[in-house]
Amino acid sequence: MKKITIIVPCYNEQEVLPLFFEEIQKQFNPTYLFQLVFVDDGSKDQTLSIIRDYAKQYSFVKYISFSRNFGKESAMLAGLKAAKDLNSDAAIIIDADLQHPPVLIKEMITYFEEGYKHIYARQNNREKESFIRTFFALAFYRVYAFFTGFKNMNQGAVDFCLIDRDVIDAFLEIKDVNRFTKGIFSWVGYEKKCLDFDHTPRAAGHTKWSFWGLWKYAFLGIKQFSRFYLFLFSLLLVIGFGFFAVDIILDISRQTFSYVSLKLDVFIILILLGLRTITKLLYDIRDQSLNRPIYLTKESNISHDTH
Ligand code: UDP
Ligand code: MG
């Protein structure tokens, strides 16, 4: 019987977890062996004790608990490592808040049977979200495609997906410290299928994302698979040449003092911007070469040799 592992990243989800647990079990199709892997991302509420209780009662419940909050990206990585340790044929990643409709799992499995290796969900109406959030979310996919050259990441794509063992293995080969999971799936390739669903509000609890948090996440995603810093320097170069061209057109001898001082100010800003970018790049290189663990597990009921 094929094994499907459902990975659920959880951060302070005590309100919604019982609802989720009830809903997800309705999707357990008897032709497969289902397992749930809850990844407690350093929750400060009762999330971990609720998960522990489930694990005591049901053998299909596995869990990993982090020593602190490492972020959803790390939780998804830990879940996929667990899926490999549990010798799964496929893994499903789903949010705990029921914003990713569990009923879609049935359709995902149908496409999995047809041979698709990566079936992901796309949210197709965002009207309940604020205008500004929708605008940035939509702009992101265009900007991402522009910088990385990957056109196979769909507008509105969410982390909810089913991936088969080949994709799990490929994903785990990517050792980047700063991770953008959707970007990694886009980069690894394989036959993809997109399923649409309507935006649903959270069943309970509240979002963990601030606007600034999302902004930083989007930037991380773009720079992980692009030469963003090089682009920025090229832009600085174009601005520099622009000033050079203006000098020639205006004839340097006719330049007024204020123009010269403005130019000086702009150049100082450009140089500082350039230095900041180099510093940022050096930190990225340092982070990767230090090879620190991406997350730390304080408790789990999965042993590495489980099959
Ligand atoms: N999550 C996590 N670690 C975090 C933030 C979120 O594991 O640091 C989990 C969270 O419990 C949920 C999923 O990631 O299952 C999506 O989070 P959220 O609903 O806050 O994000 P949104 O749906 O608003 O994008
Ligand atoms: Mg959510």
Summarize pLDDT for 277-307 with one digit per residue, the tens: 888 889 888 888 888 899 999 999 997 644 4
Taking the CA of 137 as reference, the closest ligand is: 1
Chain-centroid distance of CA 229 in Å reads 21
Residue 201 C-alpha to ligand 2 middle, in angstroms? 8
Nearest ligand 1 atom to the CA of 70 is 8
Taking the CA of 208 as reference, the closest ligand is: 1
Q: How far apart are CA 99 and CA 180, in angstroms?
A: 20
Residue 57 C-alpha to ligand 2 middle, in angstroms? 27
Output 220 or 250, whichever has higher pLDDT: 220
What's the count of helices (H) and strands (E) in the chain, helices before strands?
10, 8
Identity (one letter) of the amino acid at 49? S
What pLDDT is recorded for position 127? Answer: 62
Protein residues whose CB sits closer than 6 Å to any atom of ligand 1: 9-11, 13, 41, 69, 71-72, 75, 95-97, 99, 207-209
251 pLDDT above the threshold of 80: no
Q: How far apart are CA 114 and CA 116, in angstroms?
A: 6
Query: Of 17, 95, 134, 180, which is best to mutate to test ligand 1, by the most ligand atoms within 8 angstroms of its C-beta?
Result: 95
When mean pLDDT is compared across 94-108, 141-155, 173-187, 213-227, the lowest value belongs to: 141-155
Which two three-digit tokens encode residue 222?
A: 């773009």
- 211-224 and 181-188 helices cross at what angle (nearest 10)? 20
When mean pLDDT is compared across 32-36, 117-121, 290-294, the lowest value belongs to: 290-294
Given a contact cutoff of 8 angstroms between Cβ atoms, the answer to whether 97 and 143 are in contact is no
Residue 71 C-alpha to ligand 1 middle, in angstroms? 8
Q: How far apart are CA 195 and CA 135, in angstroms?
A: 22
133-142 pLDDT, tens digit per residue, is 777 777 888 8
42-68 pLDDT, tens digit per residue, is 999 999 999 999 999 999 999 999 999
Residue 168 C-alpha to ligand 1 middle, in angstroms? 21
Rounded average pLDDT over 5-11: 96
Given a contact cutoff of 8 angstroms between Cβ atoms, the answer to whether 96 and 152 are in contact is no
Query: Of 97, 128, 211, which is best to mutate to test ligand 1, by the most ligand atoms within 8 angstroms of its C-beta?
Result: 97
101 pLDDT above the threshold of 80: yes
What pLDDT is recorded for position 306? Answer: 44
Burial 55-78 (b: 16+ CB within 10 A, else e): beeeeebbbbbbeebbbbbbbbbb
What pLDDT is recorded for position 211? Answer: 80
196-233 pLDDT, tens digit per residue, is 888 777 777 777 778 888 888 888 888 888 888 888 88
What pLDDT is recorded for position 307? Answer: 42
25 pLDDT above the threshold of 80: yes
HEC states along 206-220? CCCCCHHHHHHHHHH
Given a contact cutoff of 8 angstroms between Cβ atoms, the answer to whether 36 and 62 are in contact is yes
Q: Which of 150, 55, 36, 153 is nearest to 93 (CA)?
A: 36
What pLDDT is recorded for position 252? Answer: 66
What pLDDT is recorded for position 254? Answer: 64
Q: Where are the beta strands (DSSP E) in 75-175?
A: 90-93, 118-123, 157-164
65-80 pLDDT, tens digit per residue, is 999 999 999 999 999 9
Residue 94 C-alpha to ligand 2 middle, in angstroms? 10
Rounded average pLDDT over 21-44: 93
Non-local (6+) Cβ contacts of 128 within 8 A are: 199, 201
- The pLDDT-based confidence of 35 (bands split at 50, 70, 90) is very high
- The pLDDT-based confidence of 105 (bands split at 50, 70, 90) is very high
Nearest ligand 1 atom to the CA of 97 is 15
Which two three-digit tokens encode residue 298?
A: 């304080």
Residue 11 C-alpha to ligand 1 middle, in angstroms? 6
Q: Which of 304, 124, 149 is nearest to 227 (CA)?
A: 149
What pLDDT is recorded for position 255? Answer: 66
Residue of minimum CA distance from atom 2 in ligand 1: 72
Nearest ligand 1 atom to the CA of 10 is 11
The alpha carbons of the chain give a radius of gyration, in whole angstroms, of 23
What pLDDT is recorded for position 161? Answer: 95
Length of the chain counted residue by residue: 307
